[in-house]
Amino acid sequence: MTVQRPRVLLVTFNRLMPADQGNSRRIMQLVGVYRRLGYEIDLVYHNEEGLDAGLSQAMQAEFGRVQVLASRASKRIREGHFALLSDWYDPALAQVCQEMHRLRGYQVVHVNYVWYAPLLKGFGSEVVKVLDSHDLFAERSEKYRRAGMKPSWFSTTLAEEDSAFRMADAVLAIQRGEAQEMAARGHRHVLYLPYVEAQVRPFEPPAQVPRLRLGYVGSGNDWNVRSMQAFVAALARKAPVLPFQVAVAGGICRHVREMPGLVNIGFVKELGGFYDAIDLALNPMVGGTGLKIKTVEPLSFGKPVLTTPSGAEGLAHLWTLPVLDSPEALVDYLFDTLLPDPVGCLTALHTQAVSSRAALDAEYAQQTGRLSRWLAQRVSATALASA
C-alpha cells in the first residue's frame, strides 16, 4: 500500500503560470522545494491577477487540489501611505482554507506576503505555519519618499509587520540582510532562503565578439523605470550613437526612450532566447526593495551581469562580478573597460560569473537543507503531539 504523502496548502494571489514575475518565480521555487521533500501541494489562488481556462488547466496539472477565490480584499491605503494587515487581508480566505484543511488534512500551510499572515491564526498547532515575506514592508513608503518617489503598493508599520511574523512558525527571508533585520527586531524563527534558479545554459565565454550585445529585461515598476532612465541618460551623455547594441525587453520598454544602438524589443516569450542573443546582462538599479531577481537570473542562462550596489543587495557576500557604484559608473565601465577589449573582458566576467554562481548554489543548498531539516523536525513533532 502507498503511504499518503504529507501535504502543503499554498496560498497566493499571484498568477503562477507562466511564472513571469519575480514573486511568482519565488513561489514556484518553494513549490519545487516542497515537492523535492515529498510533499503534495494544494493551492488556493486568491485571484487578483486573472483566470482563464489555460491557467486553470495549468494549475490543475501542477497542484493536487485547487480552489480559486475571487479576492475581496479592500486593499485600503491610509493617509500617509500605510496599511494595516486587516486592510489587505481577505477574511473570506479563512473559511475556504479551513474547508480544504478538513478535506485534505495539511501538515504545512504556506502563505506569501505579510498581509496573508492572519490566515495562519485559524490553524491549530497540528499544522506548521510558514510565511514567505518576499520583502520587508514596514515603513516601505519611507524608502520611496527618501528616493524622491511616490510610495506605491503595500507599506505598513513595524508593529503590524512584527505581529504578522509572530503568527508564523517560520518566516522566510529572501535576502540575508532582511533575515538579519528581522532577527534584530527580535524574531528568532527566521529562515533565510535565497532565490536561485536552475542552471539552464552553461557559461561559454565568446571566442570573438563582432558586435557587442548587451541586454536588460524587466517590468515597468517604479524602481526599474527610474533605474533605466538614469542609465539611458548616462548612455546618451556618453555617446549619441552607441558603439554596441543594448536590447531592452519586458514591460520597461514602455518607459525607455530608444536611441541609436538601444532597441526596445517588448515582451519576450522565452527568456532563454533573449539571453542567448546577448553577451552581457545589465541591471543598473538605483534602489528598490526585495531581492533583485534580474541580477541572479542571467547567471542561470550562462550570462555574466553588471550591476550596482542596489542590484547586488543581499548578494554582496557571494558576488565576485564587478559592482559599479551607479548607472553612470556602469556606463563608464562599458566604454572604458569592456569596449576596448570585449573578448578579454567578457572572458574575465564569465570566470567571475561562474564563481558567483557556484557561491550562490552552495549557499542555496545550505539554506534549503536548513529549511528541509527544520520542516522535517516540526512536521514530525506536530504529528507526534497530535497522535
* Residue 226, C-alpha cell as written in the block: 527610474
Q: Residues binding another protein: what is the number (CB under 8 A)?
A: 27
Selected from 36, 74, 78, 103, the binder of another protein by CB under 8 A is 103
52 binds another protein (CB under 8 A): yes
189 binds another protein (CB under 8 A): no
Quote the crossing angle between the two packed helices 293-300 and 22-36, to the nearest 10°.
Answer: 60
User: Please, what is the minimum distance in Å from the beta carbon of residue 114 to another protein?
Assistant: 23
Selected from 3, 207, 241, 385, the binder of another protein by CB under 8 A is 3
66 binds another protein (CB under 8 A): yes
208 binds another protein (CB under 8 A): no
**Which phi and psi angles does 71 have, rounded to 5°?**
-70, 130
Smaller CB separation from another protein, 15 or 350: 15
Smaller CB separation from another protein, 106 or 244: 106
Selected from 72, 78, 145, 211, the binder of another protein by CB under 8 A is 72
143 binds another protein (CB under 8 A): no
67 binds another protein (CB under 8 A): yes
User: Please, what is the minimum distance in Å from the beta carbon of residue 355 to another protein?
Assistant: 46
387 binds another protein (CB under 8 A): no
Smaller CB separation from another protein, 92 or 268: 92
Taking each continuous run of H as one helix and of E as one strand, the counts in the chain are 12, 12
Smaller CB separation from another protein, 54 or 273: 54
Binding segment for another protein (CB under 8 A), chosen from 52-60, 198-206, 207-215, 221-229, is 52-60
Selected from 4, 198, 204, 210, the binder of another protein by CB under 8 A is 4
Cα distance between residue 14 and residue 30, in whole Å: 14
Q: Can you spell out the DSSP letters for 7-37?
A: EEEEEESS--SS--SHHHHHHHHHHHHHHHT
* Residue 114, C-alpha cell as written in the block: 505579510
DSSP H or E run through 330: helix 327-333
Binding segment for another protein (CB under 8 A), chosen from 100-108, 140-148, 205-213, 223-231, is 100-108
Residue 153, Ramachandran bin (φ over 0: left; ψ between -120 and 50: alpha; else beta): left
308 binds another protein (CB under 8 A): no
Q: Classify residue 10 as exposed, middle or buried by CB count within 10 Å of its CB (0-12, 13-18, 19+).
A: buried
316 binds another protein (CB under 8 A): no
CA 128 to chain centre: 23
68 binds another protein (CB under 8 A): yes
Cα distance between residue 44 and residue 153, in whole Å: 22
Smaller CB separation from another protein, 57 or 380: 57
Q: Using an 8 Å Cβ cutoff, are 77 and 54 in contact?
A: no
Cα distance between residue 316 and residue 309, in whole Å: 8
Selected from 17, 32, 62, 65, the binder of another protein by CB under 8 A is 65
User: Please, what is the minimum distance in Å from the beta carbon of residue 14 to another protein?
Assistant: 17
Q: Any idea what the Cα angle at residue 8 is, between residues 127 and 132, rounded to 5°? A: 85
Q: Using an 8 Å Cβ cutoff, are 324 and 333 in contact?
A: yes
Smaller CB separation from another protein, 99 or 276: 99
53 binds another protein (CB under 8 A): yes
Selected from 69, 183, 263, 343, the binder of another protein by CB under 8 A is 69
Cα distance between residue 177 and residue 72, in whole Å: 33
Q: Classify residue 34 as exposed, middle or buried by CB count within 10 Å of its CB (0-12, 13-18, 19+).
A: buried
Smaller CB separation from another protein, 69 or 236: 69
Q: Using an 8 Å Cβ cutoff, are 306 and 280 in contact?
A: yes
Q: Using an 8 Å Cβ cutoff, are 336 and 89 in contact?
A: no
Cα distance between residue 350 and residue 352, in whole Å: 5
17 binds another protein (CB under 8 A): no
Strand blocks (E) in 209-331: 213-217, 245-249, 262-266, 280-283, 305-307
Smaller CB separation from another protein, 184 or 385: 385
366 binds another protein (CB under 8 A): no
User: Please, what is the minimum distance in Å from the beta carbon of residue 95 to another protein?
Assistant: 8
Interaction site with another protein (CB under 8 A): 1-4, 47, 51-54, 56-57, 60, 65-70, 72, 92, 96, 99-103, 105
